[in-house]
């Protein structure tokens, strides 16, 4: 609104209409303005706020990455220490390493570091079992090597007491791919390929899962698997005497070391043949 002293009710100037109202020999001019100025102002403010948000987000992500890197280094050192501790205990047959890596949820031996890393948990475990269930993959035999890639034997015993009962009640074979021959015999049989067997069957496309009961007096067994010309993949799952799922004995012992704080976890593992 603009104060003027001319007593003119209305005029046109430069193509813009200006409305004037006469009041006590004084005129007040009201200028008509379009919304383009307001829209432009809003766009400028929105651009500024967006830029500020992006910069703040980049800064926060950078801080988080730096924090995760520092925590990760500490967790990696803790995992390395845990693995060394687990290997030492395993090679000396110390009981402190007998946490179960394959239990659900996993059970580990653990202790906490002192000092500035008091929130860092160090865990180690030793696994002598396969995961349950576990896929066994056999490939066609490579004639250029001495080993038979299409054959595999699994010894169903108690890894902690090989001369005692295995404490398994059954094992299930679920076909996955290819074709193969499955044989299950007693531990006392010299060659499971020739028998006698507790079970002897073929699996190929569309074969239904086959369960073999393990309930003999000796309670120690050999599982003999042979793959066909295109290979063979079978999923094995087993149960103990109480009907609980339990992985079959593995060919290797897996020692794992964990370093963990509230924000990050690092894992290292080593596999050792029996």
**Cβ contacts of 42 within 8 Å, gap of 6 or more:** none
Q: Which of 1-10, 157-166, 232-241, 247-256 has the lowest mean pLDDT?
A: 1-10
Name the pLDDT band for 25 (thresholds 50, 70, 90).
low
Name the pLDDT band for 38 (thresholds 50, 70, 90).
confident
Measured CA to CA, the distance from residue 118 to residue 55 in angstroms comes to 34
Name the residue ranges covered by the structural domains of the chain: 2-31, 131-247
Report the alpha-carbon angle 263-267-272, nearest 5: 165
Global pTM value: 0.58
Distance of CA 57 to the CA centre of its chain: 28
CA-based radius of gyration for the chain: 38
| Mean pLDDT of the 107-112 span | 61
Q: What is the pLDDT of residues 1-21, one digit of tens each?
A: 444 444 444 444 444 444 444
Q: What is the pLDDT of residues 218-231, one digit of tens each?
A: 889 999 999 988 99
For 131-247, CATH number out of 2.40.50, 3.30.230, 2.60.120, 3.30.70 equals 2.60.120
């Amino acid at each position: 609104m603009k104060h003027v002293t001319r007593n003119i009710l209305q005029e046109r100037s430069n193509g813009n209409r200006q409305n004037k109202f006469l009041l006590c020999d004084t005129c007040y001019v009201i200028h008509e303005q379009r919304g383009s100025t307001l829209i432009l102002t809003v766009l400028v403010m929105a651009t500024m706020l967006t830029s500020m948000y992006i910069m703040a987000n980049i800064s926060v992500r950078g801080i988080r990455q730096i924090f995760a890197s520092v925590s990760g280094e500490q967790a990696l050192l803790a995992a390395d220490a845990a693995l060394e501790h687990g290997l030492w205990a395993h090679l000396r047959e110390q009981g402190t390493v007998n946490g179960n890596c394959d239990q659900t949820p996993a059970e580990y031996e653990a202790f906490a570091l002192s000092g500035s890393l008091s929130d860092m948990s160090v865990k180690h475990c030793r696994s002598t079992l396969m995961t349950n269930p576990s896929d066994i993959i056999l490939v066609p035999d490579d004639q250029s090597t001495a080993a038979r890639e299409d054959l595999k034997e699994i010894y169903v015993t108690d890894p902690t007491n090989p001369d005692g009962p295995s404490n398994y009640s059954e094992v299930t074979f679920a076909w996955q791919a290819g074709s193969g021959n499955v044989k299950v015999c007693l531990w006392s049989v010299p060659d499971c390929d020739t028998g006698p067997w507790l079970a002897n069957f073929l699996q190929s496309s569309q074969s239904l899962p086959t369960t073999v009961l393990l309930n003999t007096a000796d309670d120690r067994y050999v599982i003999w698997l042979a793959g066909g010309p295109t290979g063979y993949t079978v999923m094995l799952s087993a149960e103990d005497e109480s009907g609980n799922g339990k992985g079959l004995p593995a060919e290797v012992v897996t020692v794992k070391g964990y370093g963990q704080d509230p924000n990050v976890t690092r894992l290292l593992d080593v596999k050792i043949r029996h």
